[in-house]
Amino acid sequence: MRSAHGGEIQSAALRLGVSPAQLLDASASLVPWTPRFSAQVLTRRLRDYPDRHHHRLADLIGKVHGLSASAVLPGNGAAELFTWAARDAAAVGMSSLPVPGFADYSRALACWDGAMAMHCLPLDWSSVFPQAFSSPGTAGALWICNPHNPTGQLWSRASLEPLLQRYRLVICDEAFLSLVPDGEKQSLIPLVAEHPNLVVIRSLTKLYGIAGLRLGYAVAQTERLQRWAQWRDPWPVNGIASAVAEQLLASPQKYQRWCRRAQAWVAKEGAWMQQQLAQLSGITPMPSAANFLLIRADQSLVPLREAVEQRHRILLRDCRSFEGLGECWLRIGLQSRRNNRRIIRALRQELDRAPLV
């Protein structure tokens, strides 16, 4: 059974009979470094119950974006927040989902028997970003991912803003936007105050390389977030996760410094990987503004992915879980230059061994 998500390194290690430390995981899209934390602060949080209302964390996130804390709801990763967004979406009618797209939107909608209609995105696109997003017709709710997962396309705010007049609810997943050079210029967060039908969901786990902690947040008007808070479990964000996030977001300046570092890495390694992949026979790298990129071929890439996994201990993202892609596509999460070289070397060796024709 194919994975519906990247980063399942423990399962891969069991399947291959190796230690997780022996694997290079390029199936998930995280920065290649993890920040240091104060162990003393984390230890203190082990005993006490977490703050159910996340007052300090919401305040710090709000300051990063110039918002009131009441406009922010921290969550157990973006996935938990998609579940509550989907409950609202199901209540307003049909949800329009882009294809290809992240499978968790449909998972969340299925929790509430939400109706879904797919609209297909072109599978060929320009390397000039940002680009205009086109949504056919009108439905109750529209789900957008910016930059788009899995294509890496960056949509312009100018093309997204008019959609707020056409849909009763717009849910914008900006999980990767903080990693995109100049990406914040396209964020919809500044529009939330004027649009009660807008929800923006962000991830901290990808930006900081801390996926195991599960940290995300929603930005929306206060009334909606208060309703979500009444629906959810009492302590959705554990004390350790809160303590880590509070250290990372201690000031807007600290957050911005980290974002600049991550964005410089994306710009440098993304360009390098595009160039290197373009030199390999039989595959085509697609343009991406994000910290991951798609490659496509005229035939199945499943044997290539399996060979790279089995012989080189490198995990690439199987794209069959993205409706509209299939086995002729793979997604690669950017790594350090050393590990990006390792990926290119493995792909070259396997393509030399079994050329794609």
Task: Write down all domains in the chain, each with its CATH number in brackets.
Answer: 9-30+256-353 (3.90.1150.10), 39-250 (3.40.640.10)
Q: Using pLDDT thresholds of 50, 70 and 90, give the confidence band for residue 253.
A: very high
Q: Using pLDDT thresholds of 50, 70 and 90, give the confidence band for residue 100.
A: very high
The model's pTM? 0.95
Q: Using pLDDT thresholds of 50, 70 and 90, give the confidence band for residue 24.
A: very high
Three-state SS for 286?
coil
Closest by CA to 198, choosing from 157, 233, 154, is 157
Residue 165: partners with Cβ closer than 8 Å, 6 or more residues away: none
Q: Which two tokens stand for residue 84?
A: 């509550």
The continuous run of DSSP H or E covering 173 comes out as: strand 169-173
Distance, CA of 67 to CA of 61 (rounded, Å) = 8
pLDDT at 17: 86
Mean pLDDT over the full length of the chain: 93
Distance, CA of 275 to CA of 164 (rounded, Å) = 38
On the question of pLDDT at 225 being above 90, the answer is yes
Q: Compute CA 301 distance to the chain's CA centroid, rounded to the nearest angstrom.
A: 23
Distance, CA of 197 to CA of 168 (rounded, Å) = 6
CA dihedral (284, 178, 241, 82) positive or negative:
negative
Residues 46-51, mean pLDDT to the nearest whole number: 85
73 close to 225: Cβ distance less than 8 angstroms? yes
pLDDT at 1: 37
